[in-house]
Structure 1
Amino acid sequence: MTSKTTSPWSKVSSSGSHLNVEDFLTFRLTRLSNSLRTNLTKPYLESFGLSLPEWRLLALVARFAPMRFSEVTARSGMDKGQVSRTLRVMASRGLTKTKAIRDRGSRSTEALAAPVMVSITPKGTSLYKAVLPVARKRQADMLLALSQPERVALYSIIDKLSANIGDAEGAGDAE
């Protein structure tokens, strides 16, 4: 992808009528996100035997455990089914464990699915501590492609856009 000398975003009308699909913010950010995942994150995760969803959940659970399943889902930005499947795989590998929480003496709780707490195992903690420095280094390398003012501006811009549209809390923190 070549850089343009003029930005199609320099003069955006309220109708956006001059924007082509490849100039859409969503298009450009999705393309960048996919490229970062493929070229930056996946190679080092593969060397540790982790998928991207496993790393995302491992990092969240390592940082915030114990946490309710619903909180894992909310913070990860993943759907309940994917979180459930990924946690099942991680538990079978001995990286995380889950435990149902039951309110004592409450029959109504027994009729519903009991809340589940997710925690990390010593094996999971060890793997997390091995991956984290590599992940941090790869992220720093990418960020250092920008000047310090560009990094500050980009962080601020992402915050502003997230506040404007509504952020899925914590989605993709660990990537």
Structure 2
Amino acid sequence: MNAPKRTSPEPGTPDSEQAPASTEASAPAPVPIHGLLSYRLSRVANAMSRSAALRYRRDFDVSLAEWRTIALLGADAPLTLNKLARLAALDKAQMSRVVTKLSERGLVLREFGAGRTTQLTLTRRGHSVYNGLIVAANERNEAFQVCLTDQEREVLDTALEKLATLARALERAEER
């Protein structure tokens, strides 16, 4: 329920000499969700991911999580399930399901290492899918970057690095 709006007393009346003006009046109004940087970045990233998911499903019969898994293994294999999950920003259970599906399709190979570790790599067929996916991803990347000048790309890269560093620091602070 909104409080009734107070009007300012006339100068020289008793109320005008009581308390100084409220600092609330000088504080900026909260930014609505549509103006929050994190919300705006999330919306852009989600739109980019949705269009990628549609293309990768149509052209390569892989989901977005499967694409990320294949791409990460194509770039940095071998990887453990835990490391792969961290890099893909998925929880371990989600990544385990993705790897199981890709393994059943003959795209990912699980090799058991020392102790309980499992090293994940792409199969020959997985590398073939990776090669097609990474070409498509680079085409999409270029399509997004074409609307930016060279200077805007540099500024965006710098800004994203700064935001990522700060986001990781804030995440660590929140975990305490």
Normalising by the smaller structure, the TM-score range is 0.7 to 0.9
The answer for the alignment partner of 1:96 in structure 2 is 108
The answer for the alignment partner of 2:50 in structure 1 is 38
**Which string of whole-angstrom CA distances, capped at 9 and with x for unpartnered residues, describes residues 138-173 of structure 1?**
111111111111111011000001111218xxxxxx
AA aligned opposite 2:72: L
- Where in structure 1 are there 5+ consecutive unaligned residues? 1-14, 104-113, 168-175
Q: TM-score, normalised by structure 1?
A: 0.76
In the aligned structure 1, how far is the partner of 2:37 from the partner of 2:153? 18
Q: How many residues align?
A: 142
Matched, 1:127 2:129: yes
Give 1:80's match in structure 2, choosing from 76, 83, 92.
Answer: 92
In the aligned structure 1, how far is the partner of 2:142 from the partner of 2:133? 14
The Cα RMSD (Å) is 1.5
In the aligned structure 2, how far is the partner of 1:18 from the partner of 1:77? 30
The answer for the alignment partner of 1:25 in structure 2 is 37
Q: Which has the higher contact order (CA 8 A, sep 6+)?
A: 1
In the aligned structure 2, how far is the partner of 1:130 from the partner of 1:66? 20
Residue 75 of structure 1 and its aligned partner are, at CA, apart by: 1.2
Q: Secondary structure at the match of 2:98?
A: helix
In the aligned structure 1, how far is the partner of 2:80 from the partner of 2:54? 30
In the aligned structure 2, how far is the partner of 1:60 from the partner of 1:92? 18
AA aligned opposite 2:46: N
Structure 1, 83-92 or 58-67: larger mean CA deviation: 58-67
The answer for the alignment partner of 1:139 in structure 2 is 141
Q: Secondary structure at the match of 1:141?
A: helix
The answer for the alignment partner of 1:57 in structure 2 is 69
In the aligned structure 2, how far is the partner of 1:122 from the partner of 1:56? 17
**Which string of whole-angstrom CA distances, capped at 9 and with x for unpartnered residues, describes residues 25-45 of structure 1?**
121111111111122x12320
- Runs (4 or more) in structure 1 with deviation over 3 Å come to 15-18
AA aligned opposite 1:23: G
Structure with more helix by fraction: 2
Q: TM-score, normalised by structure 2?
A: 0.76
AA aligned opposite 1:118: L
Q: Secondary structure at the match of 1:166?
A: helix
What percent identity do the matched residue pairs reach?
A: 25
Residue 60 of structure 1 and its aligned partner are, at CA, apart by: 0.5
